Every structure is written in C-alpha cells, then in structure tokens.
Amino acid sequence: MAGRECYHCKQWVDEGEAHDCWTTTEAALTEELAEDLRDAWERLRETAVSFGDQRIYASHKSIMFSRTSCYFFVRPKRSFLEVCIFLPRAVRGPQVRRSDRTSRTKVANMLRIHHRDEVEAPMTDWLEEAFQLSAPSVRTVPTAPTKRKPSRKQPQQPARRRKSAAKATRLPRKTK
C-alpha cells in the first residue's frame, strides 16, 4: 500500500488520506490541567474576552489571543501556565521569568501562573495594555498636500568629463 510517514508525528499516512497532526483545539490543550491550573486558565480567558473583540485559537501547543496580530499567548504545562505578553517594553514583577526583544517594537514578557489568584493586577493591566496596542492602526490623511522647498544645493559635476562632452562645449574658431 502506497503512503508516507509524517515527519512530525512519525505516523504512517496512506496515499490520499487527509492528515494534519498540527491541528489542535483549546479543549485538547487544557483537558489534562490540574484543578488549580484549570481555574487559572478560565480566569485568564475570561479576563481577555472582557477586553473586546478578538480571535482566540489553538496553534500547536499554544492558545493564541489576537486582534490584528497576536498580543499574548498561553502554553499550558503540567505544573504551570506559561504566558507570553507582547509589549513595547520589558515589565518587572514576581511572575515575570524573562523578557526577550522579538522585534524593534515588541518585547516578549514570559510569565508563569500557578494559581487563579495570580491572574490579577498588574498582570491584567499588562494584558489590557497589550490588547490596546494591538488595535488596528488608523491611517490619517493629510488635509492639504505640503510642498517641499527646492534645495539650494547645486548638482555635483563628475570629477572628469568625457571627451565627447568636452568637444561639444568648445566654441568654433573664427574665420577671416
């Protein structure tokens, strides 16, 4: 029988059979959490949903929260929830494990949550700040076009002139 072995999950896939080992759901990622972590997850999700319209989806081993781009994600682990919040600056707090610059404008702040009571200020303030910063940018249209002033610099001449250019600029001799 013809087929192939998936290089991700090493499962044998028959020819023509649909296979997507990357597909996962929020429920699948959170089903094996301990009771304290499940309560913390539910409170974290409720807090994020209260901010407004957004997209929540599972991707590989993370649950992503995004508007135009991901502003934070959660990786459920066995003994804690790993939360990554994207802000323009590094934050400090007892839950923050590290902060890594991911681009010119974003810093990934990695936190660990062990209990429902940890999902409160200042963490919720950081989440709300990240949500506000991920809003779609509004383009402003200028009311009147602005004119640029011409520069006063003279165009620079090349150091050497070509022979043909030099001949063209000579004046003809006067004849008697």
Q: Where are the beta strands (DSSP E) in the chain?
A: 3-5, 12-14, 55-59, 62-66, 70-76, 81-87, 96-101, 107-113
One digit per residue, the tens of pLDDT, for the chain of length 176 reads: 688 887 667 778 888 777 776 667 888 899 999 999 999 999 999 999 999 999 998 888 899 999 989 999 999 999 999 999 999 999 998 889 999 999 999 999 999 999 999 999 999 999 999 999 988 765 545 555 556 666 666 666 666 655 555 555 566 666 76
User: What's the pTM?
Assistant: 0.67
173 backbone dihedrals φ, ψ, rounded to 5° = -70, 150
Q: For residue 48, count other CB atoms closer than 10 A to its CB.
A: 22
What are the structure tokens assigned to 168, written together? 């063209």
Q: Are 58 and 45 in contact (CB under 8 A)?
A: no
109 backbone dihedrals φ, ψ, rounded to 5° = -100, 115
pLDDT tens-place string over residues 51-102: 999 999 888 889 999 998 999 999 999 999 999 999 999 999 888 999 999 9
- Angle of CA points 89, 92, 97, to nearest 5°: 100
